[in-house]
Every structure is written in structure tokens, then in C-alpha cells.
Structure 1
Amino acid sequence: MTTQAQSQASTDRSSSGPFLSVDDLQVRFRTEDGVVKAVDGLSFDLEKGSTLGIVGESGSGKSVTNLAILGLHHRKATEITGSIKLDGEELVGRTDRELEHLRGRKMAMIFQDPLTALSPYYTIGRQIGETFSKHTGASKKEARDRAVEMLTRVGIPQPSLRVDDYPHQFSGGMRQRAMIAMSLVCDPDLLIADEPTTALDVTVQAQILDLLKDLQQELGTAIIMITHDLGVIARTAHDVMVMYAGRAVERGTVREVLKAPQHPYTWGLLSSMPSLGGPLDVPLRPVRGTPPSLINMPKGCPFNPRCDYQEQAVGGKCSTERPLLAPATGHATACHLTLERQQDIFINQIQPRLG
């Protein structure tokens, strides 16, 4: 295919739909105790240059979803169905070799713990340059020069010297910057950031978030931000998806979800966070109970055993019928409470606690 034809094909794919489209994704693990439905019918879209924040408790399916996008699950132990399209190309069912060609070049991930994600046996520069060499065929010198360039881009001081350091010689914030440099060395179109500010102090956290924002503006990267911290989402994301028990329970713009949330689970997440503008004499209210078993899911709405408002739902459906997330676009919630009742509860009971 000629260069002009390839360019036209790429244009046709991009114009036919969103850059990343996940449709009815299901990820299941078979265990001795039963089948774990880690992701159960998840759908969402992401455009280039936009950031989607995914929030929820541990075990809600956030990281499992994004590992499925990258094709990093163990094939023999994992069953993945549904559709994942990246720039019009279907990823589900692709071989390991095909996905390896895309990882690093087309899509990349910043892993949660840079200390364990980086190899202690190789220098920072070698680890960054290896990805570049693999996808471009660059020489060792070219790869090292690119590593120095990337360390400069992410704000590492004296990059020409630090490129030969090992991970243990970097601070936590510098290791995170090195992970970002490694992820972006081939200028991928999709970047998945899994808790990129975990265990960092607030100053370094702000620097990392600003860095990702600047790089997105520079490269037009699509970003998925996985985090427990709604403050991080408020600062970085354009859209938000709240996950619970392997499904999306609320989705909308940052302003819609954080300023006027509709789902009781989202209310619980917000109520468990300290607020600078909230009343000082109101204690934090964590979500009661524990997340459900993904093997033996509760009947009806998975959140109903922990929900304080199920008795206000019409028809008592919370314990018998699982709510669906609708409509396909705009602010949506998977809840049996009517929209009018959701708004009334939020305005009169939840909002006064949040300030």
C-alpha cells in the first residue's frame, strides 16, 4: 500500500468513529471457586486529545479493563469477549505478536508502582531506549540519545548523567517521571495511567499531573486515568466513568459527575473525601459494607446491600433487577431511583455534607 493510500485509510478509520471504542467488554477468570466476572458488559468511547477518568474501589474492574485493552492478560486463564477498537482496528482476538507491535508504539501504560515496574538490573536509559529500538530499529546510540531527550522532556535534572543511573538511585517522583518517559518514548496515541500519583507527596503529585497535561497538549494523546482520588479526576479528566462490580454505574463529564452526581455509590465516594469548602463539623461518611463477590454477585443491583436509598426506588427493583446504564451518551446512571428522586436526595441530603 502506498503512503498516500495508508494516510487515506487512517483518515477513513478516524472519521468512522471514536479513537478508542470499547463495546460490551467482558473479562472472566476461571478459578477453583468459580468464574470471576471481573468486567461485565462494559462500554465506553474515548477521543484523541481527551482524558477519561475511571474511578471506583479496588476490585471494581478498572485495571482489568485496561490490561485487556493492552492485551496483557494471561490468555489461558482469561476469557475476553466483546469489542475493543483502537483507531478502527479490532484488538480482541489479536495474537500476542500483533499486540506487541502496537504496545509502546500505538498504546502504552504507566504502571501503578514504578519501583516494581522498572527492572533493578538495567539502567533507566537502557530501559527507555529498549522500547524505542524495538519499534524503530534505532541503534544503541540513537536509543540512548532518545532516552536523554525523553528524560529532558519529563523534567529530570542532568538527563545526560542520570540516564546511566539505576532505578534505586531515583526518588519516587523521578521514577514516576522515568516511567512516563518510557511510556511516551514512541509517542503513542493512547496512554493508560494506572494510579500514576500513588505514594507521591502532594507537590510531586501536582507536578506529575501537570506534566501529563502538557504532554497531552503537545502530542494530542488520548489518556485513560485510573485512580481512587476524585481530586485527581477533577484536575485532569474531561469525562468520568464510575465503576462498581465490573460495570459502569455512572458516566458523564467531570462537571456533571462531580457537581451533580446521580448514583448512590458516587455519593458515597464523594462523602468519604475531605472537602475544603465543606462544613467542618460534618464527619466523613465512608461507603458502608464491602464490595460484592465477583463470583456470587448479589441479585438485582450489585450495590443494593450497601445502598441507603433502595427503599425509595420505584417497584422495589433494587433486589430483583440489575439496572442498565442508559442513555448511550450524556450524563447516565445505572440506578432504579428516578431522576427526580436522585436530584432531590442529592440537593437535600448529600450536597449539604459536601459544601
Structure 2
Amino acid sequence: MTSTDQQPFLSIRDLKVHFSTEDGIVKAVDGLSFDLAKGQTLGIVGESGSGKSVTNLTILGLHDRDRTAIDGEILLDGQELLNASEKELERLRGNKMSMIFQDALASLSPYHTIGTQIGETYRKHTGVSKAEARKRAIEMLRRVGIPQPDMRVDDYPHQFSGGMRQRAMIAMALVCDPELLIADEPTTALDVTVQAQIMDLLKDLQQEFGTAIIFITHDLGVIADIADDVLVMYGGRCVERGTKREVLTSPQHPYTLGLLNSMPDLHGPVDVELSPIPGSPPSLLNPPSGCRFHPRCAFADKVAGNLCSTERPMLEIVAGRGSACHLTADQKRELFAHYAELQRH
């Protein structure tokens, strides 16, 4: 992670989240560890099914306890969450930690006004009157850039545009000044102009409140705009970690390189073909042995002894930087530079 004197506000150690299904056990998260300090933004990136959202729903305790087996440790400001009661988690959700979901229209109730929904969240955790809650809702709508908030507070979600609904969701998530904000692809359904406005809003609010943010996305372009540090997930595991600059300019894992090479370069020639990663993400019911990326990896044959298909590579983090890959450091530098050069031509 980014070098800082701060102690981690959120600390996750060897988290495993497995679901029971009719077809077997789904290993959605399989040994994940990371830290996050206050005022920092961690971008978690990966394809659908990589374990990003499951990780963060588990932090909030929003999982089916009857069908989910969880192991490891989640510490929020020193408090263990995995053993916390539902009553204690309800107290923490919205108050100390909160989440912005991808689909604001599906997350907001169509039967209640925007102001009522924001105000009820505030009342639940503070016990203030309805009048005070309404005043707070107007204040939050103003903070997130909703015009005429004293009038729009009485509107229903369908009366808001997509961008305004997402702003209202952010207002609801921040109404109790949480210290941890989890944003689960909050800009995916928005056009690029509104997306940029939402990103700027999150950065401004983080600066104002000192909030720790986990930003989940499949888009490395978004990560480049908002994150301090990046965690790349594949098949329920972390395959690479580092600062934003390190990961985006000098990837250490073939999967990260594949993600970068599948992105269009806004500053390059328009006729350059993109290079999608071949194959499909692994089934977490029956994941590949060894490195879970090896069936799709362009470099697996460069490693001696079939290690990629037989032995799980360990994630070794040194000064916040590392990757889970059997390639040597020299191989990574040589092959990745060559591969990146091929993609540019």
C-alpha cells in the first residue's frame, strides 16, 4: 500500500468466503489480505466473478449466514467484524461504514421520497426528530450538488436523472459521516461526463471527511482517476498489489497486463486493435489447479516444471508491492516489455 505513518483503519487477513450451492462449494474469495488507511482510496479491479463485490459485502456483513462459510479476520478500527452480532453490524452499517451500489434505481425505494430515505438513515443512527432529519437530508443533497435541494428533497427516485440518483445514493451513504465508504461500480451505468462529475464528487467529499474508500470496478481507466493503491483480483484471489502508478505503468502479473492491453488508448492511434484476454474467467466451483490464471496466460509455458498448473504462486508483498506469479523478476521485465511493445504495433 502507499507508504504512510497511519495505522490501517481496515485490515483484512486471509479472508475466505465459500458458498454452498446445489452444484457444490463456490470459493468466491480464497485467501485475501489487505490494509486500508483513513483518507486513502483502494481500487479493487477484476472481471466479473473475481470476488470483488463478495469481499465488500462480507465486510458489511451482507451475506447469507446459513449458506456462507467465512474464515479469516476483518478488523475495522480494531473491531473484529466476522464475529460481530447482526445488531452490532446494523449499528456500524451506515454509521461507521457504508456502501454505494451500482444501480441506484434498484437500491432506492420507489415508494418513498429521496428526502425520507436519506432522513430515515440519519434518524436510525442519531435518534433526531423528523424535522431535523429532513434538514440534514437537504444539507446532504446540497453537498452532493443537487440543485434546489429544499425542493428536490420531496421528489421520488423516478423524478431524478441517473446521475442525480447516484448523487442521492452518495448523500445517503455519507449522511452519518461514515469512516469507510465502499463504492461498488457506482459509475458504470452513467455517461462519461456524469461519471467524471461523480468521481470528482467522491474525491472532494473524501478530502472533506477524511473517509477511507474502497472503489470496486472492472475499468482500469476509472482506477487511474481515483485510486491511491490498486488490488487486482482474479478467481477469488489477489494477483497483484501496488500503488496506482506501479500497477498501471509497470504490471507484474500477466492478468494485469492483459487488462491493460484490452483497454483503448485515448491518446494513441484510433485504428489500433484491442487485445482481449483469451478464454473465460474460471469456474469457482471447480477452479484450475496452481495459478488460476494459467489456462489463459500467454506466459505459462515460460515457467519450468509446469509450476503454473500445479503449484499456487504465493503473493509476496514488499513495501506494499507484489504479485502472485511464478515468473522471475527478470522474466517479468523482459516478457512484459516485449509483449507491451507488440501491442503498440
Corresponding residue of 1:104: 94
**CA distance in 2 between partners of 1:286 and 1:315 (Å):** 28
Corresponding residue of 1:137: 127
Q: Does 1:168 align with 2:165?
A: no
Match of 1:60 among 50, 61, 71: 50
Match of 1:146 among 131, 136, 139: 136
**CA distance in 2 between partners of 1:16 and 1:218 (Å):** 18
Give the gaps of 5 or more residues in structure 2. Answer: none
Corresponding residue of 1:334: 324
Match of 2:334 among 317, 336, 344: 344
Q: State the Cα distance separating 1:349 from its structure 2 match.
A: 1.7
1:60-139 maps to which residues of 2 (within 5 A)? 60-139=50-129
Q: Is the 8 A contact 1:56 1:228 kept in 2?
A: yes
Corresponding residue of 2:239: 249
Q: State the Cα distance separating 1:305 from its structure 2 match.
A: 0.7
Q: Deviations over 1:23-79 (max 9, x none)?
A: 000101001111000000000000000000000000000000000000000111111
Q: Is the 8 A contact 2:215 2:227 kept in 1?
A: yes
TM-score, structure 1 as length reference: 0.94
Corresponding residue of 1:45: 35
**CA distance in 2 between partners of 1:36 and 1:329 (Å):** 32
**CA distance in 1 between partners of 2:323 and 2:53 (Å):** 21
Corresponding residue of 1:213: 203
Aligned partner of 1:199: which letter? A
Q: Is the 8 A contact 1:278 1:353 kept in 2?
A: no
Q: Is the 8 A contact 2:275 2:343 kept in 1?
A: no
Number of equivalent positions: 341
Aligned partner of 1:212: which letter? L
Corresponding residue of 2:175: 185
Corresponding residue of 1:270: 260
Alignment root-mean-square deviation, CA: 1.3
Q: Is the 8 A contact 2:42 2:227 kept in 1?
A: yes
Give the gaps of 5 or more residues in structure 1. Answer: 1-14
**CA distance in 2 between partners of 1:125 and 1:351 (Å):** 53
**CA distance in 2 between partners of 1:307 and 1:193 (Å):** 30
**CA distance in 2 between partners of 1:170 and 1:52 (Å):** 29
TM-score, structure 2 as length reference: 0.96
Corresponding residue of 1:302: 292
Q: Deviations over 1:129-172 (max 9, x none)?
A: 01100100010000000000000000000000000000000000
Q: Is the 8 A contact 1:292 1:302 kept in 2?
A: yes
Corresponding residue of 2:22: 32
Q: State the Cα distance separating 1:17 from its structure 2 match.
A: 3.7
**CA distance in 1 between partners of 2:219 and 2:292 (Å):** 22
Change (3 A) 1:211 1:178: same
Tell me the secondary structure at the aligned position of residue 301 of structure 2: helix
Corresponding residue of 2:212: 222
Q: Is the 8 A contact 1:262 1:342 kept in 2?
A: yes
Aligned partner of 2:281: which letter? P
Tell me the secondary structure at the aligned position of residue 100 of structure 1: helix
Aligned partner of 1:88: which letter? G
Q: State the Cα distance separating 1:328 from its structure 2 match.
A: 5.3
**CA distance in 1 between partners of 2:341 and 2:151 (Å):** 52
Corresponding residue of 1:204: 194
Q: Is the 8 A contact 2:74 2:81 kept in 1?
A: yes
**CA distance in 1 between partners of 2:134 and 2:81 (Å):** 31
Q: Is the 8 A contact 1:314 1:336 kept in 2?
A: no
Q: State the Cα distance separating 1:88 from its structure 2 match.
A: 0.5
